[in-house]
Structure 1
Amino acid sequence: MKKQLQDHKSSNHISSRLRILISVSSLVTFGFCIGLVSSLYVRVGFPCAQTKQILFRASPPRPPPSPPTLSPPRVVQDRSSVGKEGFIGPNGYVKPGNFMHDMEDEELLWRASMVPRSRKLPFKHAKKVAFLFLTRGNLPLAPLWEEFFKGNEGSYSIYVHTDPSFDWSSVPKSSVFYGRRIPSQVVRWGTISMLDAERRLLANALLDFSNRRFVLLSESCIPLFNFPTVYSYLINSTEVFVEVYDDPGPNGRARYKSILKPAIELRQWRKGSQWFAMDRGLAMEIISDEKYYPLFQRYCRPSCLADEHYLPTLMNVRSFRGTANRSLTWADWSKGGPHPARIGRNEITVELLQRMRNGSACSYNGRPTRICFLFGRKFLPNSLSRLVRLAPKLMDFGGS
């Protein structure tokens, strides 16, 4: 009996040791597996989720997504402006391209504001005058301007902003105005839309580095001198031609809006003719103005007449000193009213044109001169025939 009890205890001891051995073996095996997986993770660098997916995934891997379809690059048609490596060459910055681009105002002004302001360019180019025509439709005095520009190609650029509804295809291909229209919008007199149009004209002209002077004109304007005289006067001027003055009356300070404070105080409010002649520096200031122009857009309603006040006020608040403080465009205000007198065929005489050309006294580059106006305005379409007849002799078109 005693022997049987001893044999039973011995059997239980062996079973206990066997269970311990099996448990230890299981732990060792499990630890080995863990170590193997950890080693694979460290060596290959897969994240845990990817390791599980690689080791235990039963289904085949998904195919990679197809690469996105890319649009072909835009082909540049004007090879004269593109270098051997496809970069834009010097001609691309001074040779006018297609004016009818698809840029909205915001992009156009941004692009123009990025144009270098340096007067010196790393390549030779002719200095040009940009003639900016702000019109309601056609150009009834175009034949006179054709004679003015004839023989002076390469010294000028032309930009036309007209009503979008006007059919510009009626302009003949032989005209200097052909293809010179820029993307335009409707303009209403006395509203901010007129200034929007002026900024579009300036921005488009600024894209051409060779444009050094910018002159705003209308369809009723005429040149009073031949092209060489006008060109020399503008290019060699040390000042810009913007009229700036303080008008304390009902057509000046009375148009001021107190809501413009504190950015613009009443004492800073100025007035002047919208018909300017300026350089690149001032043109850049106008198209990149993000402080004062939005105020005029928001608060300067028709009674304010933004086209007569924005530019003079801007120059005053920014203390711009390089202005001759006069316009180069003659107009007859002797009859009073909000608009100058219109000049028809019967009013045009040699004496009238001579008075426009030499009937005033002013200074040019610090010296006295009798040439104070280069252009005249408010000429009716029926004045064309007499102007064309008088111009060759009186204005010396085609001469130097």
Structure 2
Amino acid sequence: MRFVAFVCDKGMKGALDDFKVMLTRNQPFTGLAKAVAFLVIFALGVVAGLWVAAGAHQSSDSIVRPTIMQLMPSAAMYQPSGGSGGGGGGDCCRPDTKPVFAEFVAPTRLMHDMTDEELFWRATLVPAAAGYPFERVPKVAFMFLAGHGVLPLAPLWERFFRGHEDHFSVYVHAPPAVAINVSEDSPFHGRQIPSQETSWGSVTLMDAEKRLLANALLDFSNERFVLLSESCIPVHNFTTVYDYLVGSEHSFLEVYYRNTKQCRNRYSRRMAPDITLRQWRKGSQWFELTRDIATSILTDTRYYPLFRRHCRPSCYPDEHYVQTYVGMRHGARNSNRTVTHVDWSTGGSHPMAYGAREATPELVRSIRTSREPCTRNSQPTTTCYLFARKFSPDALAPLLNMSAAVMQY
């Protein structure tokens, strides 16, 4: 095209030159002939100008377009659907769809380089608009605090989760640089979050709990948040657990006060006036929270620093911080009980552990149906516990043998 324009342009210039030569010769010309000659020259000039302008416009387009395409984001680029030849038929082009929005509302890649401060800020962003621009199915976030970096009861949990993939998400806090050993088709695969070292009885355990909550809050479909340990088991099937939690009007966090050394004596007067002894609370570490209460905990910059400074190892922050905070700020929306059964009847700093010999159908049935009823949505019920601990690794085999008949999964 450029070559044709060049040739035409040269031809018109040649014609103009010929007319100029004719006019400058010393030959007699009539007035009419001169007028015709000038009109022809003028017309040729106009045509030449239009032709050159059109050629320049086409040339400009061919240069600018690639530059614009290079500046466009890759998600807006279109590529042939029928391979490199472009002969796919029907829709010849399709968008290079990268799931940017899907990854934003429900992250599948949990490892990131955010600091805790950055993570907590990001996790507490709450949409101002009512409703969601996607089909939101409420999910339960199962958050495992695996202090030793192992999940010995994972096969039981995998059986519990099977077939309900759209209604749950899993998060695991293990020691740094420790990879959970599970198969690629396990719901635990790729579900470890960035972690830090923890030590029993210190505020680092509470930091780990907040880290689990924050990562789980990044998924906008997570509605309920359950904290579990590697020694916990589900004593009911998934449908029962899901309906129980999603349909509940309250969170399930044990909160109480007792005039004992395990409760009252752990309080530090240096927390006053922000936290007084009358506001001090204790309870089980293993909680279940609604989304808004979980968000509220991460936004707390008033009370948590007091626990970091004054609730030292003998205080056990994981048994007091969430309990005191929720009691002060969200007491009316909490059931004041836990849904994780633990047997403290033996006394001491640790609950009773269930091994292969103790893990019997009779034990699990007694946990599934409580002798003393509790309330759910202000109605009495004998289904008070959904989970139980503390089960040893050697209890896995008998638990798997009874899961279908007793736990119904």
Same fold? TM cut 0.5: yes
Q: Which AA in structure 2 matches 1:379?
A: F
Q: Note closer, same or farther for the CA distance 1:373–1:118 as it changes in structure 2 (3 Å cut).
A: farther
In structure 1, the residue matched to 2:239 is 228
Q: Which has the larger radius of gyration?
A: 1
Indicate conservation of the 8 Å contact 2:110/2:192, yes or no. Answer: yes
Q: Note closer, same or farther for the CA distance 1:304–1:274 as it changes in structure 2 (3 Å cut).
A: same
In structure 2, the residue matched to 1:329 is 340
Distance in 1, Cα, partners of 2:240 & 2:144: 20
Deviations 1:27-85 (A, max 9, x none): xxxxxxxxxxxxxxxxxxxxxxxxxxxxxxxxxxxxxxxxxxxxx99978xxxxxxx79
Indicate conservation of the 8 Å contact 2:255/2:281, yes or no. Answer: yes
Structure 2 SS opposite 1:232:
helix
Structure 2: stretches of 5+ with no match in the other structure: 1-70, 76-94
Distance in 1, Cα, partners of 2:407 & 2:280: 38
TM-score under structure 1 length normalisation: 0.76
Q: Which of the residues 117, 136, 141 maps onto 1:125?
A: 136
Structure 1 SS opposite 2:357:
helix
In structure 2, the residue matched to 1:282 is 293
Shift of 1:167: 3.1
Q: Which AA in structure 2 matches 1:304?
A: C
In structure 2, the residue matched to 1:138 is 150
Q: Which AA in structure 2 matches 1:389?
A: N
Distance in 2, Cα, partners of 1:98 & 1:73: 26
Distance in 2, Cα, partners of 1:338 & 1:283: 27
In structure 2, the residue matched to 1:340 is 351
Instruction: Give matches, 1:190-205, under 5 Å.
Output: 190-205=201-216
In structure 2, the residue matched to 1:23 is none
TM-score under structure 2 length normalisation: 0.74
Percent identical pairs in the alignment equals: 49
Q: Note closer, same or farther for the CA distance 1:334–1:73 as it changes in structure 2 (3 Å cut).
A: farther
Structure 2 SS opposite 1:172:
coil
Q: Which AA in structure 2 matches 1:332?
A: D
Q: Which AA in structure 2 matches 1:376?
A: A
Q: Which AA in structure 1 matches 2:358?
A: E
Structure 2 SS opposite 1:154:
helix
Q: Note closer, same or farther for the CA distance 1:75–1:142 as it changes in structure 2 (3 Å cut).
A: farther
Q: Which AA in structure 1 matches 2:333?
A: G
In structure 2, the residue matched to 1:379 is 391
| Equivalent pairs, count | 320
Higher normalized contact order (CA 8 Å, seq sep 6+, divided by chain length)? 1
In structure 1, the residue matched to 2:9 is none
Shift of 1:154: 0.8
Shift of 1:120: 3.5
Distance in 2, Cα, partners of 1:143 & 1:267: 44
| Aligned-residue CA RMSD (Å) | 2.3
Given the alignment of the two structures, is residue 367 of structure 1 paired with residue 341 of structure 2, yes or no? no
In structure 2, the residue matched to 1:351 is 362
In structure 2, the residue matched to 1:308 is 319
Q: Note closer, same or farther for the CA distance 1:373–1:75 as it changes in structure 2 (3 Å cut).
A: farther
Q: Note closer, same or farther for the CA distance 1:118–1:128 as it changes in structure 2 (3 Å cut).
A: farther
Instruction: Give matches, 1:160-309, under 5 Å.
Output: 160-168=172-180, 170-309=181-320
Indicate conservation of the 8 Å contact 1:225/1:374, yes or no. Answer: yes
Indicate conservation of the 8 Å contact 2:171/2:191, yes or no. Answer: yes
Q: Note closer, same or farther for the CA distance 1:181–1:189 as it changes in structure 2 (3 Å cut).
A: same
Structure 1 SS opposite 2:142:
strand
Deviations 1:137-174 (A, max 9, x none): 11000000010000111110000001114233x32212
Q: Note closer, same or farther for the CA distance 1:117–1:201 as it changes in structure 2 (3 Å cut).
A: farther
Indicate conservation of the 8 Å contact 1:245/1:270, yes or no. Answer: yes
Given the alignment of the two structures, is residue 149 of structure 1 paired with residue 161 of structure 2, yes or no? yes
